[in-house]
Amino acid sequence: MNLAHLLHRQAQTHPAQPALLDGARLHATHGQLAERASAAALRLKAAGLVPGDRVLLFAHNHPRYLELLFAAWWAGLAVVPVNAKLHPSEVEWIIDNAGARWGFVTADVAPEPLAGLERQVELDSPQADALLTPLQRTEQPTGSPAVPAHAAPFDAATAITERGPDDLAWLFYTSGTTGRPKGVMLTHRNLRTMAMSYLVDVDAISPADAMVYGAPMSHGCGLYALPHLMAGARHVVPASRGVDPAELFALGRQLGPLTTFAAPTIVNRLVRHATELGLTTTDCAQSWKTIVYGGAPMYAVDIQKALAVMGPRFVQIYGQGETPMVATVLNRATLADQAHPQWAELVASVGHAQTPVRVRVADADGRTLPDGEVGEVLVQGDTVMAGYWRNPDATRATVREGWLFTGDMGSLDTNGYLTLKDRSKDLIISGGSNIYPREVEEVLLTAPGVAEVAVVGEPDAEWGEAVVAFVVPADASLAGALPAQTANESTPFTQTLDAHCLNQLGRFKRPKRYVVVEALPKNNTGKVLKTELRQRLQTPTSEMTPTDNHHQKQ
């Protein structure tokens, strides 16, 4: 079944029900959303796109994001959602690798044509208007009774292109430790199972609910459009197109309590806003129904504060791009039950397996470990990806006998609750976005005057983690004037490094701090000891001076 059938069903049964809002303003009913998607699908096929072709979505949040997403599926196409914070050169690599033919963009992220696309359509352009304009309804026969506008039947411009459960729907690029990103192939079955799991494990949804898209729609937040569409709920894109706590709280009071998906850094911003305004839990309940958090480590002290300030409206999920939003869940009742004797331990966990998957912890050979022992987290079920796009070697290494080897380390308790301990990979998660050190290191090694570099993450109260680069300069005198464990203040050298990164990487990936050192710690085989570098970062902040980057917006 094509995911577009979810929209078709709502358009048939509730055509006049509000579906999509731009801020507080109605943008489309379910009937209008389906008519626009079906009309665009007809035009996409007329332009030569065929089932299985890939189309790029490189845009900040926008009401038309959902219209074009469903238009692509209606036409049998696969969508390639791209992080709006990526550098255009990074996006062009994805275009080439995915073989994307068309691209839908916002002007702020793609002011110039992207190489490799046959056609690029800006979401606020006349071209997008023409693509999404519904076909004219057939004139009613003379003498026919008038059909009230609010009851007008949905009129599809073209039939939905049939797709099988294992056909590609969503090609999500997630960076790899070897440098280049890998395309995660998610099928119609993967995403439909994810959506149904939300309704069973995460939260009940009614047509009166409203899902607000503050976090990027190219990631997990956007995927949660599917369960909300299944339930006939509303979809709200803030006028700011992002996370403005004051705006979101006001929207909730105006539209009714909102639901959203948020990385821990966003949760902390919402809590800080409520605290600064002196809002009570009752006040917060007027704006928020459910906040699902995940995508990065949530410190126990932060969720405890969030519960105290905003009340029992939080749910934690753990998943990966390779098993989207589905591995474990820590539900609202568990988080709120402070009388439970193991509450402190449960709050520090990521919950138990969601309904459609099995979760276990294994050793390096894939053998299941006893409860309490730390090993790699493995997931099996209908949400696990079909594989990596055009990368069979990586697929075989990651999915073995149906089990996804996540690369995350954790342990299960006797009740099936999973606690994550560390990542086997050196992944940095900053503001909910994945950053792989190898990618940053490769860019920095091409900067003038750099001999060696190692990139690690350090805890950051605002972003979850911050990127720190330890740099060995080719000119030893640049490091000789500073103690090896002291962060360098902004200098011409670090300014050059920063400009070099900005020219080749998305802004959110560049280091927030550069530590200039005489040498990197290494073991006998020459491998850099990143554990030791992280230990150096535990030096009190008064002894380490951050560069200006640490306070710049990501």
Which CATH architecture describes the domain 353-423?
Roll (2.30)
Beta strand pairing call for 464-473 and 450-460:
antiparallel
Fold (CATH) for 428-551 = GMP Synthetase; Chain A, domain 3 (3.30.300)
DSSP assignment of 334-346 equals HHH-TTSTTHHHH
Q: Which of 501, 505, 480 is nearest to 547 (CA)?
A: 501
- pLDDT tens column, 365-382: 999 999 999 899 999 999
Q: Write out the DSSP string of 360-392.
A: EEE-TTSPBPPTT--EEEEEEETTS-SEETT-H
Amino acid 191: pLDDT: 98
179, 63 contact by CB (below 8 A): no
pLDDT score, position 527: 65
Q: Can you read off the two tokens belonging to residue 102? A: 């068309």
Q: Is the pLDDT at 461 greater than 60, yes or no?
A: yes
Residues in Cβ contact with 352 at an 8 Å cutoff, skipping those fewer than 6 apart: 328, 329, 330, 359, 415, 416, 417, 418
- Within a 10 A sphere around the Cβ of 481, how many other Cβ atoms? 8
377 Cβ contact partners less than 8 Å away, ≥ 6 residues apart: 327, 359, 360, 361, 406, 408, 409, 410, 418, 420
Report the Cα–Cα distance between both ends of the chain, in Å, rounded: 39
What b/e readout covers 408-432, taking b as 16+ CB neighbours within 10 angstroms? bbbbbeeeebbbbeebbbbbbbbbb
Q: Which of 133-137, 237-241, 429-433 has the highest mean pLDDT?
A: 237-241
Three-state SS annotation for 267-295: HHHHHHHHHHCCCCHHHHHHHEEEEEECC
Instruction: State the pLDDT confidence band at 554, using cuts at 50, 70 and 90.
Output: very low
Residue 155 dihedral angles phi and psi, to the nearest 5°: -125, 100
pTM of the model: 0.81
Structure tokens given for 201: 């494990």
Burial of 305 (0-12, 13-18, 19+ CB in 10 A): middle
Name residues whose C-beta falls within 8 Å of residue 472's C-beta, 6 or more positions apart in sequence.
Answer: 450, 451, 452, 453, 479, 516, 517, 518, 519, 520
- Over residues 435-445, the mean pLDDT reads 84
User: What gap in Å lies between CA 522 and CA 451, rounded to an integer?
Assistant: 15
Single-letter amino acid, residue 322: E
Q: Average pLDDT of the chain?
A: 90
Could you say which of 3.30.497.10, 1.10.1760.20, 3.40.50.980, 3.40.250.10 is the CATH number of the domain covering 1-132+154-163? 3.40.50.980
**Residue 239 · residue 22 · CB < 8 Å:** yes
Q: How far apart are CA 81 and CA 100, in angstroms?
A: 11
488-546: per-residue pLDDT in tens? 467 899 999 999 999 999 999 999 999 999 999 975 445 678 888 988 887 644 334 33
The residue behind tokens 């990966």 is 320
Domain map (residue ranges) of the chain:
1-132+154-163, 353-423, 428-551
Distances (CA, A) of 334 to 268, 270, 307, 350: 20, 21, 12, 11
User: Contact 72/55 with Cβ under 8 angstroms?
Assistant: yes
pLDDT at 138 over 60: no
What whole-number distance in Å separates Cα of residue 413 and Cα of residue 246?
40
Q: What confidence score (pLDDT) does residue 437 get? A: 81
Strands (E), 413-498: 418-423, 428-430, 433-435, 450-460, 464-473
Asked if 270 contacts 291 with a C-beta cutoff of 8 angstroms, the reply is yes
Beta bridge partners of 353: 328
Residue with tokens 């920095």: 444
Q: Which helix (H) or strand (E) holds 251?
A: helix 245-255
> Token pair for residue 54?
């890939």
Lay out the sheet containing 78-82: strands in order across. Answer: 119-122, 102-105, 54-58, 78-82, 168-174, 182-187, 387-388
**Taking Cα atoms as reference points, which of 381, 432, 14, 404 lies closest to residue 229?**
14
Q: In the predicted model, what is the mean pLDDT of residues 403-416?
A: 94
| Lowest model confidence (mean pLDDT) among 66-75, 138-147, 309-318 | 138-147
Question: 514-550 burial string, b = 16+ CB within 10 Å, else e?
Answer: bbbbeebbeeeeeebebeebeebbeeeeeebebbebb
Per-residue confidence band for 550, with pLDDT thresholds at 50, 70 and 90: very low
Cβ–Cβ < 8 Å for 273, 306? no
In the Cβ-directed half-sphere of 508, how many Cα atoms lie within 13 Å? 17
Q: How far apart are CA 151 and CA 452, in angstroms?
A: 67
Helix count and strand count (H, E) for the chain: 19, 26
List, for residues 245-258, the tens digit of each pLDDT value: 999 999 999 999 99
Q: With a cut of 80, say whether residue 133 has pLDDT above it.
A: yes
Q: Give the pLDDT of residue 142.
A: 40
Cα angle: 243, vertex 247, 248; to 5 degrees: 65
pLDDT, tens digit, 9 for 90 and up, residues 415-439: 999 998 866 667 788 888 878 787 8
**In what helix (H) or strand (E) does residue 405 lie, and over which residues does it extend?**
strand 403-412
Nearest to 423 by CA among 371, 462, 464, 390: 464
